[in-house]
Amino acid sequence: MKQSRLKSGVLALALLGALGSARAGEGSGNEAASVQTTIVNVCEACHGKYGNSTDPSVPSLAGQGSAYLQKQLAAFQAQLRVGVMSGIAMSLNETEIRDAARYFSAQIPQRDPLQVSDSISSRRGAAIYDEGIVATRVPPCASCHALDGAGLASEFPRLAGQHSRYIADQLRAFRSDSRLGTNAMMHKVSAKLSDGDITAVAVYIEGLR
């Protein structure tokens, strides 16, 4: 009798464990479906399904830090950053923002096979990115964004492979202090960059991988 009750107890525990696993799997499946819905309905048209934008004025999100993406979307929601994304971000809840950020951070950045990075402008940009500009006290971009452009922690975003046009637009916005939510550091740095400097470093960054 005792042995029978023991076997019944073990079987019950096994069934509960199986039920728990099934529910966990169902939850994961629902979460994945929800993320895909957000990506398809909200993000894909501009940023691409896998975060590799084909529009040079729109940033690629693939491989970008999850914490950084969440921070930027929160800034758009709070109107600390303005633009098309302001209205879009307002339509997202915290869970959607978190899940979309994690999704894009896990994607692989794709390089444009037609891109030519071995140019005079790119070499000049490499010098600025790696060494800065001593004469005007411009620090190396790599000191915050890493030599490979992967970024550092949540404060400094990944730049590698980003569209040169987008990078140049953002640097000019930093320089004119027209990008709301900008930090003082980027304004001070970009204020010392000429249009030629900005173009050169943007071209170099686009070629980083």
Residue 6: pLDDT over 80: no
β partners of residue 152: 156
| Average pLDDT taken over every residue of the chain | 85
Residue 184: pLDDT over 90: no
Helix axes 94-105, 2-38, angle to 10 degrees: 90
Residue 117: what pLDDT?
A: 55
Structure tokens, 116: 């030519």
* Contacts of 73-79 spanning 24+ positions with Cβ under 8 A: 73/97, 73/100, 73/101, 75/181, 79/180
With residues binned 3-state (H G I as helix, E B as strand, rest as coil), the percentages for the chain, rounded to 5, are: 60, 0, 35
Delineate the domains of the chain, giving CATH numbers in brackets: 2-47+64-105 (1.10.760), 120-206 (1.10.760.10)
Residue 60: what pLDDT?
A: 96
Phi then psi dihedrals of residue 156, to 5 deg: -120, 110
Residue 4: pLDDT over 80: no
Residue 10: pLDDT over 50: no
Q: Are 146 and 140 in contact (CB under 8 A)?
A: no
In angstroms, rounded to a whole number, what is the distance separating the alpha carbons of residues 195 and 32?
A: 44
Residue 24: what pLDDT?
A: 40
Residue 12: pLDDT over 60: no
HSE-up of 48 (CA within 13 Å, CB side)? 18
Tell me the whole-structure pTM to 2 decimals.
Answer: 0.80
Residue 112: pLDDT over 80: no
- Find how far residue 130's CA is from the centre of its chain: 22
Average pLDDT on 62-81 reads 93
- Find how far residue 200's CA is from the centre of its chain: 22
